[in-house]
């Protein structure tokens, strides 16, 4: 009788543990899948930015491969391949910076947010988005005149106006400012930091000192 009671108690405890784990997992799933304000707009923006950046990467690889083929096979390299690859790389860089910001993948040092409470983390995150948006807008406004001025100068091979070269920075700054403002609105309306994917947090570098140090 004692053995049967022991087995029943162990089975009951196991069932309760599984139920509690499943309930906690379901509650975490609801939290992670919670719809944020302007979430659909952010997804479409990120999808467009990733698609264009991916096409530009394909263009870079194709252009450089054709350049190598023309140089070593025909002995007559293209004069325009380097400019095309460079222009595509510039645009891909600034477009990638925009969706990396939207996904929270930029390098960050959490020296303050890890030492404050939930309300402190919320304030720090809001201040961070304000600084990022303000800096991007200031750089964009300050560089707009220069971008317009260099439009009179063309590239050596393709004679593409320099506005298209430096304009990539203006577009990237504008997109990063928009993403930062959207993130700020989401944090302000929800009253809590934006939930990130688990692998982003696992890959992040967490710098901290041991209590004894």
Residues 6 or more apart whose CB falls under 8 angstroms from that of 32 comprise 195
With CA atoms as reference, report the closest residue to 182 among 11, 10, 36: 36
Contact yes or no for 67/78 (Cβ under 8 A) = yes
> Residues in the chain, how many?
213
Q: How does residue 36 score in pLDDT terms, banded at 50, 70 and 90? A: confident
Mean pLDDT of the chain: 77
- The most confident of the ranges 27-36, 77-86, 154-163, 165-174 is 165-174
In the predicted model, what is the mean pLDDT of residues 25-50?
69
Angle between helices 162-190 and 118-149 (to 10 degrees): 160
Residue 122: alpha-carbon gap to chain centroid:
19
> How deeply is 193 buried, as exposed, middle or buried, from its count of CB atoms within 10 A (0-12, 13-18, 19+)?
middle
Q: Alpha-carbon dihedral of residues 167, 168, 172, 178, nearest 10 degrees?
A: 40
> How deeply is 211 buried, as exposed, middle or buried, from its count of CB atoms within 10 A (0-12, 13-18, 19+)?
exposed
Contact yes or no for 148/139 (Cβ under 8 A) = no
Backbone angles phi, psi at 164, to 5 degrees: -70, -25
With CA atoms as reference, report the closest residue to 39 among 192, 199, 203, 187: 187
With CA atoms as reference, report the closest residue to 62 among 96, 93, 85: 85
Residue keyed to tokens 């994917």: 197
pLDDT digits (tens, 9 = 90+) for 151-210: 778 888 788 888 889 999 999 999 999 999 999 998 888 877 776 664 444 454 444 444
Of 18-27, 40-49, 138-147, 200-209, the one with minimum mean pLDDT is 18-27
Instruction: Look at 72 and 23; give whichever has higher pLDDT.
Output: 72
pLDDT of 96 above 60: yes
With CA atoms as reference, report the closest residue to 110 among 211, 210, 207: 207
The two tokens of residue 8 are 């029943």
Of 53-57, 70-74, 93-97, 182-186, the one with minimum mean pLDDT is 70-74
161 beta partners: 154
């Amino acid at each position: 009788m004692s053995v049967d009671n022991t087995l029943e108690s162990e089975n009951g405890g196991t069932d309760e543990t599984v139920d509690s784990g499943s309930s906690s997992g379901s509650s975490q799933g609801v939290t992670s899948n919670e719809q944020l304000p302007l979430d659909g707009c952010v997804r479409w923006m990120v999808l467009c930015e990733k698609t264009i950046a991916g096409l530009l990467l394909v263009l870079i690889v194709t252009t450089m491969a054709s350049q190598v083929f023309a140089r070593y096979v025909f002995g007559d390299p293209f004069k325009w391949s380097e400019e095309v690859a460079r222009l595509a790389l510039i645009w891909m860089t600034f477009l990638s910076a925009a969706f990396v910001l939207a996904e929270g993948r930029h390098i960050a040092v959490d020296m303050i947010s890890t030492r404050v409470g939930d309300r402190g983390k919320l304030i720090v995150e809001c201040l961070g988005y304000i600084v990022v948006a303000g800096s991007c807008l200031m750089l964009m406004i300050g560089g707009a005149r220069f971008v317009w001025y260099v439009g009179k100068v063309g590239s050596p091979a393709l004679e593409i106006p320099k506005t298209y070269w430096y304009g990539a920075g203006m577009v990237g700054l504008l997109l990063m400012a928009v993403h930062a403002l959207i993130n700020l609105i989401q944090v302000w309306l929800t009253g809590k930091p934006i939930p990130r994917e688990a692998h982003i947090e696992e890959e992040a570098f967490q710098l901290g000192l041991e209590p004894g140090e």
